[in-house]
Structure 1
Amino acid sequence: MDTPQQSAQDEISAIIASAAKQPLLDAAYELWRRRYRLDLIEGRPTAEEIRINRTLTAEQFSAKYRHDRDHAHEGPMFAYLKRAHASADDPAIKQAIITAVEFEDEYNKHFDWNGDFWDCVVRAMAQAARRYPDYLETTYRDARNDLAYYMK
């Protein structure tokens, strides 16, 4: 029995179980915001992908980053959300992932360093929430915290 592998699968299962307790849209955002941890556990990027990424110009890397975000609903995120919400149909799962990515883009777009830091975070989230009003308050809270963490 490979204990490290088992604990990795346990961690993935715990993340997915947490997402499964939420409505589909909120689950998609929770899994999206935890994508870096999920990727790390799953061994992504691979050594070969890292080697290739290091050869890319800034413009090429930016294009790759945009492509990966634009097609997140076609990658591993789909399988994670399908595991969390097995009864949801595939188009609904894909749309929830697309919406989660767009929601993150929206609150990042509205962040403006103009005034008290936390007020800037709250203002950006309020603007994003007007465009994406269907999330639970706990999701907006998590998004505010993420925004504050990444903008600090």
Structure 2
Amino acid sequence: MNQTEPSAEAQIAAIIASAAKQPLLDAAFELWCRRYRFNTLDGRPTDEEVRVYRTLTPQQMAEKYRYDRDHAHEGPMFGYVKRAHPRADDAAIRQAIITAVKFEDATFEHFNWIGDFWECVVRAVARAAAQYPDFLDTTYRDARNNVAYYYK
């Protein structure tokens, strides 16, 4: 039995189709959380980018990381969200991406590993949710899973 993996474009389309079922803001968060998968499927980073990254100092890497997050609405993420919500206004898409990134940042900033791990995760996302109350409950659930994954 030879089963082949779906093409990169088919996998991207499936992720986008899943996000398209959600409101714009929640779709932006879902797609933002899948950014590393998109990078892999789209062939990023390129070999040349890898060579450049290896020459960066830790401070330069941190600056690049922050720049990429601060400008996520100007990069490939805009196209993914636009594909999920083609009728949405471009400015609304950009704002949804900015909000999704800030919400994810807040979940990590509020994480404080004091006590039971899962309670710390729940508390961090609850504090972030208080700052960003416009997401669906399912997105807050996904955010808890996201924080748990990165802090495991």
4+ long deviations beyond 3 Å: none
Q: Which residue pairs with 1:86 in the alignment?
A: 86
- State the Cα distance separating 1:151 from its structure 2 match: 0.5
Partner of 1:149: 149
In the alignment, structure 2 segments of 5+ residues that lack a partner are none
- 1:5 positional shift: 9.7
Paired residue type of 1:7: S
**1:20 has 2:11 as partner:** no
Aligned equivalents of 1:22 and 1:67: distance in 2? 27
Q: Report deviation, 1:116.
A: 0.5
CA shift at 1:44, angstroms?
Answer: 0.5
Q: 1:7, CA displacement in angstroms?
A: 1.3
User: What is the one-letter code of the residue matched to 1:111?
Assistant: F
1:96 matched to 2:96? The reply is yes
Partner of 2:40: 40
| In structure 1, C-alpha distance between the alignment counterparts of 2:119 and 2:151, rounded to whole Å | 13
Unaligned runs of 5+ in 1: none
Percent identity over paired residues: 68
Normalized per residue, the structure richer in helix is 1
Aligned equivalent of 1:71: 71
CA displacement, residues 83-124 of structure 1 (integer Å, 9 cap, x when unaligned): 000000100000000000000000100000110000000000
Letter in 2 for 1:50: V
TM-score in terms of structure 2 length: 0.96
AA aligned opposite 1:48: E
RMSD: 1.2
Q: What SS class does the counterpart of residue 133 from structure 1 fall into?
A: coil
Aligned residues: 149
**What's the offset of the Cα at 1:68?**
0.5
Alignment of structure 1 residues 39-58 onto 2, 5 Å:
39-58=39-58
Deviations 1:6-63 (A, max 9, x none): 6111000000000100000000000000000001000001000000000000001110
Distance in 2 separating the partners of 1:86 and 1:142: 24
Which residue is 1:122 aligned to?
122
